[in-house]
Structure 1
Amino acid sequence: MSLTLAEARARAAMLSAVSYDLALDITDPHHFRSRVVARFDTTGGDTFLELHRAESLDVEINGEKVTTAYDGRRIPLDELKPGTHEVVVDARLRYVTDGEGLHTFTDPADGERYIGGYLGLDITQRLFACFDQLDLKAPISLTVTADPAWTVLSNGVPTSDDNGRHTFATTRPIPCDLLVVAAGPFHSVRWEHGGVPMGWHARRSLAAELDRDAAELKAVTEACFNHFARVFTEPFPFDSYDQVFVPELNWGAMECPGCVTFNEFLLPRGRVTDDDRRRRAMVIAHEMSHMWFGDLVSPLWWEDAWLNESFADYMGFEVAETLTGFAGTRVSFEAVHKPGAYLADRRRSTHPVAPEAVDVPDVAIATTIFDQISYGKGNAVLRQLVTWLGEEDFLAGVNAHLTAHRFANATLEDLLSALDAASSRDVRGWAEVWLRRSGHDTIRVTRRDDVPVVTREGVRPHRFTVCAYDQGLNLIGTRMIDLAGEPVPLPEWAGLVVVPNAHGETFARVDLDPFSREALANGLATLPDPLVRAGVWTTLLDGPPPAVQLELLARQLPREPSPTLVTAALGRVRDHLIRRRLTADAVPAALETIASACAGPVEPDEQRAVALARGLAWTTADSDQLRRWLDSGATDHGLTLDPELRWTVVHRLAELGGLDEAGIEAERLRDGTADGVLGSLTALAARPTAEAKASAWAAMTGDPEISVRRFRALADGLWSPAQRGLLTPYIAGYVSAAPALAERGSAFAAVVGRAFPALALTDQELDLVRDALRHNVPAVLRRHWDDELDDRA
């Protein structure tokens, strides 16, 4: 029973002045106690609190115990009289292992236990009884009783710690889904900046990694804080700023006010590449910008989720690129994130960046719009807005919007009003074609005699850079152009290779003229600017037959100087060609082509060497080579195997039949961490035997408490494109079992959807999915399946 738009609007109309006083007791390892005092004013009538699957429940309304018709999701509050009310809900609930609620995790490295309240859409009710919607923002007072040896973190500043009873200052009004609790024996690095107490925290077994990166993490945090202090007129909205690497978070990070949670993949064990650092700096900037976009000012309903995510994604990449010392972040956006957004915008499931509220009728549907449209496309569209509007007017409008709605809720119309007031341009007309319509335009280059002509297929105004090159791909010139309905000829560049949207300022597919396409396909790696190459890689890999993609990779990958672009090209071919389009008999030759492209001479650039070694590790069929790597702890060229690379080698060697169960177990014991447990599950599932596949499938479907990460690890090993004969029986089994598995919650539904068979399917097998979709399939899983069908059409 997901909250509907109509229910949320009715409840918001009758309630105001909501506040929560919450006490959690997490000392019992099996259950936790959640006692909340919810206070609110009402105009009178019937409403409800949400609370998910409480095992025991006591309710008081205005000091009187009541018996309610609790159905496992909602606590009715009927016939309330106008005025102020106080409801006390004292409940016992279970911990979860799927990251949706109060999550429990035991670290295999040292046996220490960690508890995390990871909330979000439809999840707060799994922690305490609440009015679980965005536009009933409320101050929250929190007390947590925990192991006295533990650190406990939350949104507010700690005010006392009495032998494990932690009390926190009452928050400013925030959406209740942004409450956070993180508890356990964390290792911490603390300091103060700009008058705000700050900290980075990680579980004890990652103390060495946190200390290794602490100076960098601190510097990036301060650079982001200083930048936002300059560009936003509203000061930092909260009293403290903790950042916590938490175990088994289902997403990259969560923007909880004053206490941001980060997925632990952002704190790698072993080698930290430049791409790792860029990505982490981007996420830090992204989450800090949420303190304003999403936390200070929040949407009314989920149709405006883009006001949170598109803004934060744009800010994250721009700030990381220009201010944190990690140039090249924008290259990763163009190469990795934008292609996925183009693909998403061509599917049936696409939607406007800013849909209408009626198009998001309930929270279940809302969970499906946190996608590549709201992130990747929204980011690109905002970059185009800034390019088109000018940064000064953009920031003037944004600041007026933030001040007008501080600690409240706002809509797209509110933002457009502020931008309109700051600019003479037709912002509403721009928003109508860019934000309210789905799909993307195509920028096409044709030739009129020898003169390049740039045209637009679509309805949107574009401003972007065009670059011109000679046949040797030496840069001749650049020009910013505005493109609308009329063609733009470039007579000064007659006979030259031209690349439109070369710096990625707009969001549109590029269709090159044959002359430019051929020159770029032959000499792509020699283009001097990696940002231009990122866009060209995207264009050249967009839609050609498999043989053409593999030929491009074979020619250009060995010469591509950017590790970011090497990794992006390999990932795209793996995910969209090897795992979706190639038949099983075509996979070995394709993998051999990729392996040959990765197996060049000794690389003086370690970053590039890592990218190529990772590509070689998942493609090579040379078991002897992989065994040498494991035995020596390094590649044949002397590159040390960090944990990520080593587990890639283990996975591939097991997939080839070169590593048995005992060998995989030895690797797990050698690693000794949670990542090692997951790596061993993937390797065990990858073995080319019927027994291995049966065991993996039984583990995925037979344990009702299996965690999201264990399920994902098993699926990653199960589906091997070259093991088609072993996997055919599990395709129908997956389609049959998935809807029931997905009922556990949105995060588990997403991992079940991502576990779609990663191999080319026959029309009859795809018909199984189509037939299943005619019945009741949870919204998140339905979205994943629809997208898979579109991608394989």
Structure 2
Amino acid sequence: MSLTLDEARRRAALLADVSYDLALDITATDTFRSRVTVRFDTRGGDTFLELHQAEQLQVTIDGDVVTTGYDGRRIPLAGLAPGKHEVVVDARLRYVADGEGLHVFTDPVDGERYVGAYLGLDATQRLFACFDQLDLKSPITLTVTADPAWTVLTNALPITGTAFAATPPIPCDQLVVAAGPYHSVRWEHRGLPMGWHCRRSLAADLDRDAAELRQVTELCFDHYAEIFTEPYAFDSYDQVFVPELNWGAMENPGCVTVNESMLPRGRVTDDDRRRRAMVIAHEMSHMWFANLVSPVWWEDAWLNESFADYMGFQVAETAAGFPGTRVSFEAAHKPGAYLADRRRSTHPVAPVAEDVPDVATGRTVFDEISYGKGNAVIRQLVTWLGENDFLAGVNAHLTRHRFANATLDDLLSALDAASPRDVHAWAGVWLRTAGHDTIRVTRRDDGVPVLTRDGVRPHRFTVTAYTPELAPVGSRLIDLEAEPVTLPDLAGLVVVPNSHGETFARIALDELSSDAVANGLADLADPLVRAVLWATVPIERLLPGQLPRESSPTLVTAALNRALDELVRRRSVPGALEMIAAACVPTGEPDRQLALAAGLARTTTDIALLRRWLDVDATDLGVPLLPDLRWAVVHRLAELGGIDAPGIESERRRDGTATGELGALTALAARPSAAAKAQAWTTMTGDAGISVRRFGALAAGLWSPSQRELVAPYIPAYLEVSPGLARRGSAFATAVGRAFPALPLTAAELELVREALTGDVPTVLRRRWMDELDDRDGGAAHSLSDQDQPGGHGTAGKV
């Protein structure tokens, strides 16, 4: 039972002045105590609190203990008189292993226990009884009873011990608790307490990076203090590397949680550092967009994420000192957004509320449209409006709705007032309409290039010209609307539209430009232009000749991931693995070697090479293997039959961390034997308490394109059991969807998927299966494309 839009609207109209006084006791190891006092005003009538699977429940309303019709999810509050009320809900709840609720983790390195409240959609009710919706923002006062030796972190500063000050009004899903023997690095900046925290066993890694983490935090904070007129609204700023977080990071006010993958063991690559700086900038921008001003309902979640994703890449690139961050967006994120926008499940960047009828559907809009496309569309808006007018509108919006909720129309009105341009009309074609345009380069008979647009959106972007030998000639910003743009001074030259990625549109190059790029892409000096072109020209044209010469590790990794996804998983191109392996020659500077070695480790059939790398713990040119790369080598060796269970166990013990535990599970499941597959499948589906991480690790090893005969029987079995597994919760449903068979499927197997979709499939899983069908059987080609609809803009598909 997921909260519906109609229910949320009725409850919001009924209630006001909600506040929570929450006490958690996390000293026991099987269940925890959650006692919350909820105070609110009401117009009178019936409503309900949400609380998931509580035990030993006691409910008091205005001082009287009551018997409720609690059904395991909702506590009815019937016949309330108009006025103020106080409800006390005391219960015991179970810890979780799926990252939604009060998550518990035991560190295999030292046996230490960590407890974290990771909340989000439909998850706050797994921690305490609440009105679990965005537009009932409330102050929350928290007290935590925990091991006195532990550090306890939350959204506010402690008053005494682990009793914390009340937060400003925030959506209840943004509460956070991180408790355990954390290692901390603390300081003050502009009078604000700040800190970075990690598990005790990761202390050396945090200390290694502490100076950089502090510098990036301060640079981002100073930048936002300069561009936003509203001051930072919370009393501290902590950032915590927490174990087993389902997201890359979560923007909890004053206490951001960050996935531990961003604190890598061993050598930290430049890509690691750029990605981490982007995440820091992304989550900090949420302190304004999401926390200070929040959406009313989940249809506007895109605005939080699109704005933050744009700010994350932009601020990391321009303010935090990490040039090349935009390259990673163009190469690794934007192509997935184009693919998502061609599926049946595409939707407008900004859907209307009625297109998100319940919270379960809200979960599905945290996708490539909201992040990748939304980021690109916000960048186009800034380019089209100008940064000054954009920020003037944003600041007016933030001030007008401080500590409140607001809609897209509220933001558009503020932007419209700050700009002479018609922002509402712009939003109609860019935000309220699904699909994307195509920008085409054609040639007149005299060789003059002409730019045209298939679609209805106005575009402002950079055009860059090169000689046929790809020597740079120059760049300029142009506007393209309904009328073609003729470029007579660029006759006979290679032309690259949107070369700096300012807009979101597919690019169709003319034959002269396409051939020149296919033959010499790696020779272009500007990595941003190369990033745009790697995503424009068919990957099989570029891979053999250009990947071995590509100097950017960022672009190497993005190209390899695209090739594996497109040529192996989606299109089943014969000989694709061999072609990819042949292009991966690990030479050059260390980061480039590691990127190419990762591609080779996933595709080679050379057991001797992989064994040699393991034996010396380095590539053939002596670059040490990072832990993730070492486990990729072990995984591939296991697939090829080059390492047995004792060898994998030896690697697990050598690693000794939680990452090693998961890597060993993947490798064991990847072994080419019926017994190994049966064991993995039984553990995945038969263990009711399996964590999301362990389930995903086993699935990663189970499916292998080279082991079709072994794994084919599990395809119908997967389709049969998955709906039941997905009902454990949205996080588990996401993991089950990601566990879709990662190998080419026959027509008969695809038909089995279609048949399964006619049954009762949970929303999150249904969306994933539909997308897999589109990617594999040409369904995306049958969705609304640029040519299918008048004006090339399409309409939203239903999920």
TM-score by length of 2: 0.97
Instruction: Using the TM superposition, give the Cα deviation of residue 199 of structure 1 relative to its aligned residue in structure 2, in angstroms.
Output: 0.4
Listed one character per residue, the Cα deviations across residues 618-669 of structure 1 (whole Å, up to 9, x for unaligned) are 1111101111111111111111112111111111111110000000000000
For 1:348, the aligned partner's letter is: R
Give the counterpart of 1:685 among 669, 692, 712: 669
Counterparts of 1:700-719 in structure 2 under 5 Å?
A: 700-719=684-703
Residue 525 of structure 1 corresponds to 522
Query: Which residue does the alignment assign to 1:506?
Result: 503
Q: In structure 2, which of residues 766, 773, 778 is the aligned counterpart of residue 789 of structure 1? A: 773
Which of 707, 713, 732 is equivalent to 1:729? 713
Aligned mates of 2:705, 2:438 — CA distance in 1: 33
Give the structure 1 partner of residue 788 of structure 2: none
- State the alpha-carbon separation in 1 of the partners of residues 577 and 414 from structure 2: 53
Confirm or deny that 1:196 pairs with 2:192.
yes
- Deviation, structure 1 residue 425: 0.4
Pairing partner for 2:258 from 262, 277, 290: 262
Aligned to 2:761: 777
Corresponding residue number in structure 1 for 2:547: 557
Alignment map for 1:346-385 (pairs within 5 Å): 346-385=342-381
> Which SS does the other structure have where 2:196 is aligned?
strand
Q: 1:573 aligns with which of 563, 570, 576?
A: 563
Question: Which of 587, 597, 603 is equivalent to 2:583?
Answer: 597
Out of 244, 247, 252, the residue aligned to residue 243 of structure 2 is: 247
Which of residues 592, 596, 612 is equivalent to 1:628? Answer: 612
Q: Could you say what the CA RMSD is over the residues aligned between the two structures, in angstroms?
A: 0.8
- Tell me how far 1:791 sits from its aligned partner: 0.6
Partner of 1:121: 121
Question: Mapping of 1:248-327 within 5 angstroms?
Answer: 248-327=244-323
Give the CA deviation at 1:607.
1.3
1:145-181 per-position Cα deviation (integer Å, ceiling 9, x unaligned) = 00111100000111111xxxx1001000000000000
Q: How does 1:668-679 map to 2 (within 5 A)?
A: 668-679=652-663
Q: Does 1:167 align with 2:163?
A: yes
Alignment-derived partner of residue 728 in structure 2: 744
Among 165, 170, 177, the alignment partner of 2:173 is 177
Task: Indicate whether 1:137 and 2:137 are aligned.
Answer: yes
Instruction: Report the Cα distance in structure 2 between the residues aligned to 1:653 and 1:418, rounded to whole angstroms.
Output: 57
CA distance in structure 2 between the aligned counterparts of 1:550 and 1:350, rounded to whole angstroms: 26
CA–CA separation in structure 1 for the residues paired with 2:565 and 2:673: 24
Contact 1:441 1:457 (8 Å CA) reproduced: yes
Q: Any idea what SS the aligned residue of 1:93 has? A: strand
- C-alpha contact 1:550 1:594 (8 A) present in aligned 2: no
SS at match of 2:535: helix
Q: State the AA in 1 paired with 2:580.
A: I
Distance in 2, matches of 1:770 and 1:618, equals 30
Q: Extract structure 1 runs of 4+ deviating beyond 6 A.
A: none
Choose between structure 1 and 2 for higher RCO, CA contacts under 8 A separated by at least 6 residues. 2
Corresponding residue number in structure 2 for 1:452: 449
- Distance of 1:576 and 1:56 partners within structure 2: 52
- The one-letter code sitting in structure 2 at the alignment partner of 1:60 is T
Query: Are 1:270 and 1:643, in contact at CA under 8 Å, matched by a contact in 2?
Result: yes
Aligned-pair CA distance for 1:610: 1.1
Distance 1:10 1:593 in 2: 58
Q: Which string of whole-angstrom CA distances, capped at 9 and with x for unpartnered residues, describes residues 724-766 of structure 1?
A: 1111101111111111110011111011101110111011101
What SS class does the counterpart of residue 757 from structure 1 fall into?
A: coil
Choose the corresponding residue for 2:396, options 396, 400, 417.
400
Q: How is 1:403-414 mapped onto 2 (pairs within 5 angstroms)?
A: 403-414=399-410
Determine the structure 1 residue equivalent to 2:474.
477
Amino acid aligned to 1:489: T
Equivalent-residue separation in structure 2 for 1:438 and 1:628 (angstroms): 50
Q: Deviations over 1:456-514 (max 9, x none)?
A: 00010000000110011011111211000000011100011100000000000001111
In the alignment, is the contact (CA less than 8 A) between 1:594 and 1:619 conserved in 2?
Answer: yes
**Which secondary structure state, in structure 1, belongs to the residue aligned with residue 186 of structure 2?**
strand
Q: Letter of the aligned partner of 2:558 in structure 1?
A: A
Shift of 1:551: 4.6
Deviation at 1:684, TM superposition (A): 0.4
Is this contact kept in 2: 1:581–1:759, CA < 8 A? no
CA contact (8 A) 1:626 1:649 kept: yes
Give the aligned partner of residue 544 of structure 1: none
Does the residue aligned with 1:348 lie in a helix, a strand or coil? coil
Q: Distance in 2 between the 1:789 and 1:577 partners?
A: 16
Name the SS for the 2:93 alignment partner. strand
8 Å Cα contact 1:750/1:781 also seen in 2:
yes
Do the aligned partners of 1:301 and 1:357 also contact (CA within 8 Å) in 2?
yes
Aligned residues: 776
CA distance in 1, matches of 2:495, 2:681: 51
Percent identical pairs in the alignment equals 74
Match of 2:635 in 1: 651
Kindly indicate whether residue 158 of structure 2 is the aligned counterpart of residue 158 of structure 1: yes
Q: Which amino acid in structure 1 is aligned with residue 354 of structure 2?
A: V
* 1:576 to partner: Cα distance: 2.1
Match of 1:77 in 2: 77
Query: SS where residue 539 of structure 1 aligns?
Result: coil
CA contact (8 A) 1:445 1:511 kept: yes
Matched letter for residue 436 of structure 1: R
Secondary structure of 1:722's counterpart equals helix
| Matched position secondary structure for 2:173 | helix
Distance 1:273 1:749 in 2: 32
Q: CA deviation at 1:554?
A: 1.1
Letter in 2 for 1:80: L
Shift of 1:579: 2.1
Tell me, what secondary structure is at the counterpart of 2:105?
strand
How many Å separate the matches in 2 of 1:577 and 1:349?
22
CA contact (8 A) 2:730 2:764 kept: yes
Q: CA deviation at 1:581?
A: 2.1
**What does the per-residue CA deviation read over 1:688-738, in whole Å, with 9 as the maximum and x for residues that have no partner?**
111111111111101011111111111111111111111110111111111
In structure 1, what residue type is equivalent to 2:598? Answer: R
Please state how far the C-alpha of 1:550 moved relative to its aligned partner.
Answer: 3.4
Following the alignment from structure 1 to structure 2, what is the Cα–Cα distance between the partners of residues 446 and 477? Answer: 19
Letter in 1 for 2:151: T
Q: CA deviation at 1:580?
A: 2.6
**Secondary structure at 2:193's aligned position in 1?**
strand
Which segment drifts farther, 216-225 or 639-648? 639-648
Distance 2:566 2:249 in 1: 26
Map of 2:781 onto structure 1: none
8 A contact 2:518–2:541 mirrored in 1? no
CA distance in structure 1 between the aligned counterparts of 2:571 and 2:737, rounded to whole angstroms? 18
Report the counterpart of residue 621 of structure 2 in structure 1: 637
Q: Does structure 1 conserve the Cα–Cα contact (< 8 Å) formed by 2:567 and 2:576?
A: no
Letter in 2 for 1:590: A
**Any idea what the Cα deviations from partners look like across 1:365-414, whole Å, max 9, x if unmatched?**
00000001001101000000000000000000000000000000000111
Q: What SS is found at the alignment partner of 2:143?
A: strand
Structure 2 counterpart of 1:61? 61
Residue 796 of structure 2: aligned partner: none
Cα distance in 1 for partners of 2:570, 2:409 equals 41
What are the Cα deviations for residues 233-282 of structure 1, in whole angstroms up to 9, with x where unaligned?
00011000000000000010000000000000000011211000000000
- Structure 1 residues 265-304: Cα deviation after superposition (integer angstroms, max 9, x where no partner): 0000112110000000000000000000000000000111
Distance 2:407 2:400 in 1: 12
Counterpart amino acid of residue 745 in structure 2: L
Structure 2: gaps spanning 5 or more residues:
779-799
